Chains A and B, each alone.
Chain A
């Protein structure tokens, strides 16, 4: 009885193994269905259609399916899905989330494809975010850019003009608040992306890496604190919820409850038309500029965006690499650029379209000076703990900047060096 069972088990096992050989090996890479995970609605429909058609033309017999995921819960979803047997083949991941996965071995090594994908033409900050231990795992996909929108009538009424330095931006905010009674700059406390330029322009950093590889959080340095105090001054002119986040910030702006708003460039469309697609008070009254730096020119701003990678568990790695190559091709990236995104290649930067040529110029100006968060695999954990959100909520509420910054430094170091 036992023997029989054992034999039967052996039979099943070898059948499984044989089946694995028979169906797996030859089928591998020749044809298959490639699952591409895009996150959110940022990738325009034109680009999706182009990707699917081009891939299926170039790889007869294979198909490509685009599945849209959401930013909420994305890290959980990727952590499980990329480790399982039903892994997607190509995945988009936020640029600040990428290091968590490159360092864990979730992605296929793309070092050999680096030059073919664009080489040094790829956005350098995003290449850094997608590399780990000298290997290249996740390619840049696109970047976003922040633009400062303003209400022309209010600027005129308050007698201020477009600022040329960061200090002027701060003093303008106070004048606008005094003259109009509404927000000088609309700035909810959780919006920490908009605060980073103030730190950087004053010569500060969020965290720097020591020569021994450990991290040193720098928010409480004199330079950073000077920047954070400017942030507090500007936040003081805001009537936004001190603990609110930046979603839908354009609604009060287009309802003329704020004179200035710094937001992603695509917010333009939500400012000039409301939910019912009717014109707003800002439709013919809207101006924009790139956030000015400490000494003029464009400030270093935070570059949000995405990386794209092939799952280490992809059943069809060669096909997946081909799909990824299409997504980094000049044609595909030009479609992204035409829809207002900053493309993954520096040489295509001037193709980024704005609703108007002037806006396009402003977007390009801001993107040229973009900067990223510290390139540590554990930075995603700092974001998960919402340390920066908490810091700026408390700064918005009038807390003592120096001691709050020192506190945040401790927590950041505990995570990055933990």
Chain B
């Protein structure tokens, strides 16, 4: 199973029996994580895939035998224009959020490396406070700041000459709804990106940068040619995770929909799966949507993994 080839030419060890080799190999290290993930994510995931091929509703949860329908749920979902509308909306929304989050996060991380200690601490405490806010309360507070009647945003903007926004609904128009959602989501995810990238940046060796500086490079060139390659793995991980999280965003959209907006025009794929499966009781169709979503995301994920692994191994 395991070739156990030391990645970077570790000194050869004493020869050992196959069992010992196996136990010393990567598998032993993987066991604890694998057991937990397989039992509580892997197994339910298999159940999900099975359910997606069945007529599975509330009656089946309470013990009625499920009926096998093959790809029926999948064909229903793929033939439903509502699904495509939701999917397209989610992709656009996630794209905008990933760009905004990564851009701001990296910029703030770089800013942190440039600041003096006191200011750096102040900014990171600010980031932490935003990050620490429970998403439910964050959405409540933001939703309330944008409130139609008593919102502080309408109040402040209306103080500007010629502006009267009292009574303006920020959530009725879908674009405006998603603008508010983007503000909330970006506000909460930027701190994580900024702090993680900052942690990565601090690992960039100072003397390489100094050497580059002696070679006459300017700041932007050093950032692009030295810093970015060093933190590339961290950036890629973050990018991938932001894509995954933003495309299945649930709490913020769901909470905003209870405050305002038209549900049909603002539903993203996470909320759609919830509406169909948990609230609507059609676990078969909900499972099919979830599987389709995963299959769609696997393509970029595999490309990404191949490129990182190849890079590490070369």
Instruction: Decide: A241 and B169 in contact? CB cutoff 8 A.
Output: yes
Which residue of the partner chain, among A106, A239, A397, contacts B58 with CB atoms under 8 Å? A106
B165 to chain A, nearest CB (A): 13
Find B260's partner among A239, A241, A380, A415 (CB 8 Å cutoff): A241
Given A381-B279, A393-B172: A244 in contact with B262 (beta carbons within 8 A): no
Give complex CA distance A241, B58 in Å: 36
Closest residue on chain A to residue B59 by CB atoms: A104
Known contacts A101-B58, A105-B59, A243-B169; A381/B264 CB under 8 A: no
Within 8 A of B (CB), among A101-137: 101, 103-106
B175 shortest CB reach to chain A, Å: 14
B262 near A103 with CB under 8 A, answer no
Would you call A76 an interface residue if the criterion is a C-beta within 8 Å of the partner chain's C-beta atoms? yes
Minimum C-beta distance from B45 to chain A (A): 17
The B interface, classified by DSSP as helix, strand, loop or mixed, is loop
The answer to the question of B62 belonging to the interface, with a C-beta cut-off of 8 Å to chain A, is yes
Contact-residue bracket for chain B: 20 to 34
B133 within 8 A of A: no
A358-388 residues at the B interface, CB under 8 angstroms:
380-381, 384-387
Can you offer 26 A-B residue contacts whose CB atoms are under 8 A?
A75-B278, A75-B279, A82-B62, A100-B281, A101-B58, A103-B58, A103-B59, A104-B59, A104-B62, A105-B59, A240-B149, A241-B149, A242-B169, A243-B169, A243-B171, A243-B261, A244-B148, A244-B259, A244-B260, A245-B258, A252-B149, A385-B263, A389-B263, A390-B262, A394-B262, A415-B280
Contact A381 B172 (CB under 8 A): no
Asked if A312 is at the interface of the complex by the 8 Å CB criterion, the answer is yes
The distance from the CB of B148 to the nearest CB of chain A, in whole angstroms, is 4
The interface residues of chain B lying within 8 Å CB-to-CB of A245 are 258-259
CA distance A390 to B149 in the complex (A): 20
B262 in contact with A243 (CB, 8 Å): yes
Q: Is A347 an interface residue (CB 8 A)?
A: no
Bound: A386/B276 CA distance, A? 12
Residues of B within 8 A of A380 (CB): 281
Is B216 part of the contact surface with A, judged by Cβ < 8 Å? no
**Complex-state Cα separation, A394 to B263, whole angstroms:** 11
Least CB distance, A316 to chain B, in whole angstroms: 19
Contact with B along A388-401 (1 / 0, CB 8 A): 01100110010000
